[in-house]
Amino acid sequence: MNTLDPVAVFRMEAAECLEAIEAGLLDLTHRLDDKNLVDAVFRGLHTLKGSGSMFGFDALAAFTHHCETAFDRVRKGEVPATAELVAAVLAAQDHMRALVDQPDADHGDTGQKLLAQLQAAVGEKASTNQAIPAIAASGPLGAPARQTTTWRIRFSLPSNAMANGTNPLGLLDELRDLGECTVRANTAAIPPLGEFIPTELYVSWEVVLTSDQDRSAIDDVFIFVMDDMELDVQEIPAPVGPISPTSEDIASATVAVLPAVAAPQPIVSSEFRPVEAVPVKRETTVAQPERQAKAAENVRVPAERLDELMDRVGELVIAQSRLSQLASASTDIALRSVSEEIERLSGELRDTMMVLRMVPVATLFSRFRRLVHDLARETGKVIELVTEGESTEVDKTVIERLADPLVHLVRNSIDHGLETPEDRLSAGKAAAGTVTLSARQAGGEVIISIRDDGRGINRERVRAKAESSGLIAPGQLLTDSELLQLIFAPGFSTAAAITNLSGRGVGMDVVKKTVEALRGAIDIESIPGEGSEVSLRIPLTLAIIDGLLVRVGSGRYVIPLSAVEECLELSLEEDLRSRGRSFISLRDSLVPFLRLRDLFRTGTKPDVHQKVVVISTGTERVGLVVDQIIGDHQTVIKSMSKLHNDVATFSGATILGDGSVALILDVGHLVVAGQQQEAQMRVAG
């Protein structure tokens, strides 16, 4: 068994820590006076610095120290939090990420420039009659001298603290660094030798500390172990003599909350006289195993292993299909029984595997908070990002592939869609523009929408650009949907000049190609003066789907079951009667249908009793005429070769139980084909 590289584990945890810091900074942008957010960012920077130093990332630890120091000043009220400080630390966070990924690379003078920016952000708000020490100094930023205070500190750690890597003597050493202290160990809780467990901690401590530091400095000592410990800190008038805690003192022990780190061993006072035990609350000791159990429920698994497991499950589904086909042709009852049991188990395994691969879109949406923040500063626009439906889950592969297309769409909405604050106010709108990211599930699809309340799409400009580029003939009649779809053409851009955001005409083309590669489709709507909305309709999963197996001529095809609404019978007489109009009446509404036998040019005669499979994508419906409905089929999706990239009718292929191949129909393309046929019939009529 391969053991995980500790440095690789640190990089994963550092990435999570940096994401948490970024999220805290972006929240702080909107609530600069929120002390909890300031503390959260400070703790994240403190954690990253300590972990980096522990694993030998000295450059990371040294650089992060300066950002931590700046936020320590904010936390202590010496300087206020400002938008400039948040922007400076966000920029510094990118450098921290580079120091994590490439600690030995030459990063030039990037660090020094960022430190100068950070110093300026803090210095601009400093007192005018007090010089600001350089942030690059090795020690903490300067602070006025303080009077000394004496504190009585009682603390006890959970019994499994040392087994989890916490060194209590390291905490005592940090307390001694704060000033003069006397430490007494309480050993009254140590059991007889026969009941003694070497890995458990039975000792608690009482410390009298005289220091010029405030209460927050004491809390910082225990910042990583507060989750599971009991801590009581009391201010007393002056240093006291021998410690003799009263029952009232002991009863005042309280529980505080925060994970754990090891530290070097200190020199502790030699006077270790047993004193009265500080009782640990029973609910704390009972809850501790529950917290450990909950933490153990989450296990890191490399994505490659999930992909490999998904491939094995797919092969199992194909083998199970083969077994079912053999069993159906056999009269052996035992074989049929085993086949049904294997089919049930493989179905449950498939469903479980699909859940493992599903990821909430919140992981995707959270990336755009930083993008919107940076673009707002770059363009001078006031932008609010709103997210909806973040709990909607999508296959992890879909999430990975959608990141870049959504970046292009969000940048496009901000650059082309949203107006400047002055233009918005003159148009009677709020100064702040809104970009909304939303996700919802509809059948077997997830619809991800990017909506803005900007100026909308200028149809005349789009048509003029399309005609000048040769995409359409001058004066060519187009529906509104067809005209708006032109913005996804390669090289198409209505920008007057090329900027850092847009103008080269490659972004929207990338969006279309990526979405089509995911077997998805793009819808676009725009109202002049009110805004635009681009919707991406993406399959929930790219691996295994439930399908409806049908026969057309001598070939077999799979229709995704999530898109199937109902199945009807179409007799030969009705088929002949509908020639020339291709509509069926379905509950007082006309539904266009496509004869797949003609579309695929099978050259065969239709069956006497044909079937119509009504499929839909959202509100649009179309019927597919097939010769036979064979039944449901667990479909393992296999990608088509590059030679078939231009065949839009099919989204993939699957292997049937007998080893033959069945093509998977692209429902979205067929619905569009049905709509076009309906429009042509109306024009002809």
452-474 average pLDDT score: 86
| Domain assignment of residue 144, yes or no | no
Are 436 and 450 spatial neighbours (Cβ–Cβ below 8 Å)?
Answer: yes
Tell me: do 416 and 517 sit in the same domain. yes
Q: Mark whether 84 and 49 lie in a shared domain.
A: yes
Inform me whether the pLDDT recorded for 272 exceeds 60. Answer: no
Query: What distance in Å separates the CA atoms of residue 278 and residue 190, rounded to the nearest whole number?
Result: 12
State how far the Cα of 13 lies from the Cα of 48, in Å rounded to an integer: 9
Q: For position 277, which CATH number holds? A: 3.30.70
Residues 575 and 534 in one domain: no
What does the pLDDT read at residue 438? 92
Query: What does the mean pLDDT of the chain come to?
Result: 76
What would the pLDDT profile of 84-111 be if each residue is shown by its tens digit?
A: 888 888 888 888 888 888 888 877 788 8
Domain boundary among 508, 539, 570: 539
Tokens representing 318 are 């194909």
111-164 residue pLDDT tens: 888 888 888 888 744 333 333 333 334 344 444 455 788 888 988 888 887 776
Element (H or E) spanning 551, and its range? strand 544-552
Which one has a higher pLDDT value, 177 or 266? Answer: 177
Judge if 176 and 280 occupy the same domain: yes
Residue 156's φ and ψ, nearest 5 degrees, are: -140, 140
Find the mean pLDDT for residues 314-341.
Answer: 87
Task: Return d(Cα 558, Cα 547) in angstroms, integer.
Answer: 6
pLDDT of residue 355: 79
Q: Give domain status of residue 128, yes or no.
A: no
Q: How large is the C-alpha radius of gyration of the chain?
A: 33
Contacts of 588 (CB under 8 A, 6+ apart): none
pLDDT score, position 231: 85
Q: Are 626 and 339 in contact (CB under 8 A)?
A: no
Contact (Cβ atoms closer than 8 angstroms) between residue 387 and residue 423: no
Residues 511 and 560 in one domain: no
User: Of 12-16, 491-495, 568-572, 679-683, which one has max mean pLDDT?
Assistant: 12-16
Choice between 356 and 648, residue whose per-residue pLDDT is larger = 356
Same domain as 428, residue 350: no
| Residue in this structure with the two tokens 């006309």, named with its chain if needed | 590
- Alpha-carbon distance 38 to 27, whole Å? 10
Q: Are 513 and 524 a contacting pair, CB within 8 Å?
A: no
Q: Which two tokens stand for residue 230?
A: 């009991």
- Please report the pLDDT score of residue 436 as a whole number: 92
pLDDT digits (tens, 9 = 90+) for 621-674: 788 888 888 888 777 777 777 777 667 778 778 888 777 888 888 877 777 766
Residues 405 and 533 placed together within one structural domain of the fold: yes
> Which amino acid type is present at position 560?
P
235, amino acid identity: E
Q: Is 326 part of any domain? A: yes
Backbone φ and ψ of 628, nearest 5°: -155, 140
Alpha helices in 358-429 (DSSP H): 362-365, 368-379, 396-412, 421-426
Looking at 234, 256, 290, the residue that finishes a domain is 290
Helix (H) or strand (E) holding 548: strand 544-552
Kindly tell me the number of DSSP H helices and DSSP E strands found in the chain: 21, 22
The pLDDT score that the predictor gives to residue 197 is 86
Q: Is residue 21 part of a domain?
A: yes
Domains: count for the chain: 5
pLDDT at 9: 77
613 inside domain: yes
- Cα–Cα distances (Å) from 525 to 51, 437, 673, in that order, read 49, 15, 20
Q: What percentage of residues in the chain have a pLDDT greater than 90?
A: 2
595: containing domain: 544-684
Cα distances from 471 to residues 85, 463, 474, 485, 507, in angstroms, run 48, 9, 10, 11, 17
* Percent of the chain residues topping a pLDDT of 70: 78
The C-alpha atoms of residue 401 and residue 404 are separated, in whole angstroms, by 7
From CA 234, how far away is CA 578, in angstroms rounded? 90
**412 and 511 share one domain:** yes
Nearest in space to 314 (alpha carbons), one of 666, 635, 556: 635
CATH number of the structural domain spanning residue 379: 3.30.565.10
24-38, 578-592, 639-653: which is most confident: 24-38
CB atoms under 10 Å from CB of 413, counted, come to: 27
pLDDT at 274: 39
User: Quick one: which of 538, 534, 359, 363 has its CA closest to 436?
Assistant: 534
* DSSP H or E run through 593: strand 589-595
Regarding whether 399 and 336 lie in a shared domain, the answer is no
Q: Hey, how many other C-beta atoms are within 10 angstroms of the C-beta on 543?
A: 20
CATH number at residue 556: 2.30.30.40
User: 474, 465 in Cβ contact below 8 A?
Assistant: no
Same domain, 625 and 571: yes
* Token code pair at residue 436: 């909304």
Asked whether residue 392 is assigned to any structural domain, the reply reads yes
Strand-pairing partners, residue 666, are none
Phi, psi torsion values for 580, nearest 5 degrees: 100, -20
With respect to residue 393, please indicate whether it lies within any of the assigned structural domains.
yes
In a domain, 423, yes or no: yes
Give the Cα separation of 573 and 478 in Å (integer): 37
The residues that bridge with 234 in the sheet, in sequence order, are: 152
Residue 278 has pLDDT above 60, yes or no: no
Q: Which two tokens stand for residue 51?
A: 């972990």
Can you give the CATH number for the domain in which 28 is found?
Answer: 1.20.120.160
Asked if 623 and 593 touch (Cβ cutoff 8 Å), the reply is yes
Selection from 45-49, 297-301, 575-579, 643-647 with the highest mean pLDDT: 45-49
**For residue 338, what pLDDT is reported?**
92
Of 241, 262, 290, at which residue does a domain stop?
290
Q: pTM (2 decimals)?
A: 0.60
Is the same domain home to 381 and 514?
yes
Residue of higher predicted confidence among 671 and 523:
523
Q: Spell out where 249-367 has E strands.
A: 254-255, 358-360
User: pLDDT, tens digit, for every residue of 540-559?
Assistant: 766 677 788 899 888 889 88
Q: Decide: helix, strand or coil at residue 302.
A: coil
Distances in Å between the Cα of 321 and the Cα atoms of 12, 314, 556 are: 40, 11, 15
> Under a CB-based contact definition with an 8 Å cutoff, are residues 152 and 208 in contact?
yes
Same domain, yes or no: 329 and 258: no
CA dihedral sign, ordered 318, 320, 323, 325: negative
Token representation of residue 64:
């992060």
Which pLDDT does position 443 carry in this prediction? 64
* DSSP conformational letter for 220: H
CA 203, chain centre distance (Å): 43
Can you list the pairs that 316-321 forms with residues at least 24 positions away whose Cβ atoms lie under 8 Å? 316/346, 316/349, 317/346, 317/350, 317/544, 317/634, 317/636, 318/636, 318/655, 318/657, 320/346, 320/634, 321/633, 321/634, 321/656, 321/657
Q: Note the pLDDT of residue 678.
A: 61
